[in-house]
Structure 1
Amino acid sequence: MPARFKLPALLVLAALAAPAGCSRRPPNATPDGAVRELVERLRLVQGDPAAAKSAFELLSKRARANLAERAQRYSAASGKTIAPEAMIVPSRFVLRFEPQRYTAQVVSNHALVEVVGLSPEDRAQVPCVFEDEVWHVDLVLPPLPPVQMRPGS
């Protein structure tokens, strides 16, 4: 290839490769990013099923399974089908404080993210787990009690 064509060809290749090399990392590429993104997405839930699904996707497999079991039990008891992400109730999600800083301590595929607010008592620790190549918030939900059957059922 003549020298006069090499430079334009290299520039075209570089321009085509640039978008692939500069792609944004997902918000949950880091544990602190996952917690920050979950907080932001939960603020948008206000009854919007798409927002609830978006927040649900940031949860760990264990937390999603717990919410799925709760949704299944609710559906069985009420006769109305409910999606697992609908178990994220906006009225139950209230920030205790406005997060100012997120700091993660990572050990293997687990992390603990400390969320700090403005005052010294504004602190929370949020567990995360690395699953499916990204970080997920491992919300600790109370275990469900065994299903009780009425006698004679």
Structure 2
Amino acid sequence: MTDRVEEVDRSVFRSALASFPSGVTIVTTRGEAGTLHGFTASSFASLSLDPPLVLVCLDRRADCFPVFMAAERFVVNVVTPAQAELAMRFATKGADKFAHVGFESDEERHPSLPDAAAVLHCELHQVVPGGDHVILIGRVHEARTGGGEPVTWYRGGFLRLGERAA
């Protein structure tokens, strides 16, 4: 006897997932030609302390998908409330994501946000397929924390830590 899994209604599925608050990150890299690329991700987590690994999920339909598949390194920037508008820009297809933003560059010219709540510089360790996304597993080779608190994403909007949801 084969167990049959019923297809879940996508709108109900999205609504259920929106009920889980998550942090917000801007993930960046530099392409082979030196161009900067990035995306916003709320699917981010620590994976291992030894070795230090994190994971972030990237939509296969993202404009920057091929660049991240070829990249050897990437940077995860944990977004603060002051960077919420920037996170929305990085979540928008076709936007000029790096215009008028004060990114710093590491020794390999990968962009990072100097005032992020935390910044993790990663070497691409593994790519794992995950439906319409891929899971980028990064080995952290440098990490720093900033002074700001992270912002959370909940039911389609940003919340500061300690705020009550509408």
TM tier, shorter chain? Answer: under 0.3
Tell me which protein shows more strand as a share of its residues.
2
TM-score, normalised on structure 1?
Answer: 0.27
- TM-score with structure 2 length normalisation? 0.25
Question: Which structure: greater helix fraction?
Answer: 1
